[in-house]
A and B are shown apart, each in its own frame.
Chain A
Amino acid sequence: DAGVIQSPRHEVTEMGQEVTLRCKPISGHDYLFWYRQTMMRGLELLIYFNNNVPIDDSGMPEDRFSAKMPNASFSTLKIQPSEPRDSAVYFCASSFDRVDNEQFFGPGTRLTVL
């Protein structure tokens, strides 16, 4: 298996633009997680899905952030409009069977908002 796949790996955009981050979880995994990592705040859970259904989105910073999982092999995290404070590394992770099982992380998307 190729592991968790994220795209793009790097994204540089200007304030106000829409940003879409993509994730393909490991086949067969039924949990998908979106995290944000910054030096100041560390690793933050934004939202997680179980069987394509959002279960906990309490970590989503504000309405500018939205996430979808239209099928078991694809998820998106969208920021619209983007702001400089959204600059961070965004990770997608997946796990099998239980929400607290071992998580497999993707390589991350480094987002820079100018």
Chain B
Amino acid sequence: SQQGEEDPQALSIQEGENATMNCSYKTSINNLQWYRQNSGRGLVHLILIRSNEREKHSGRLRVTLDTSKKSSSLLITASQAADTASYFCATDGARLAFGKGNQVVVIP
């Protein structure tokens, strides 16, 4: 089964900076989703991008998808302390397959 793999795994940035994280996957997909997990909480869905889309925006989030490279990126612009969390990508298929997560720490 497919599985998203995020890269880099840990990122520490100053408040106001942008944060970018990547996800790669192995097989064809119909859509890819990004989730956020704040410490001690369940995952929360952020955004879904379909295989025929190249870019999608939601507030301060920008997601890109390159199906030829089997990769996606999540950009958080003008980061805030509240963005401190782990971010997971998930690919569709027989079931959603979550990556290992990408920890982002935003320093106030």
A residues with a Cβ closer than 8 A to B are 4, 42-43, 45, 48, 56, 91, 93, 99-100, 102-108
Contact = CB atoms under 8 A, between A and B. Distances in A.
Contacts of B95: 45, 48, 56, 99-100
Interface string B25-49: 0000011010000001111110010
Interface of B: 30-31, 33, 40-45, 48, 88, 92-96, 98, 100-101
Given A91-B43, A93-B42, A102 B101 contact: no
Given A42-B101, A43-B101, A99 B42 contact: no
Contact of B45 (A4, A91, A103): A103
Contact of A100 (B44, B45, B92): B92
Interface-centre pick from B48, B88, B92, B96 (highest chain A CB count, 10 A): B96
Given A45-B95, A100-B31, A100-B95, A107 B41 contact: yes
Contact of B43 (A45, A99, A103): A103
B42 A91 contact: yes
Given A99-B94, A102-B33, A108 B42 contact: yes
Nearest to A91: B42
Nearest to B96: A100
Contacts of A106: 42
A42 B100 contact: yes
24 contacts: A4-B42, A42-B100, A42-B101, A43-B88, A45-B95, A45-B98, A48-B95, A56-B94, A91-B42, A93-B42, A99-B96, A100-B30, A100-B31, A100-B95, A102-B33, A103-B45, A104-B45, A105-B42, A105-B43, A106-B42, A107-B41, A108-B40, A108-B41, A108-B42
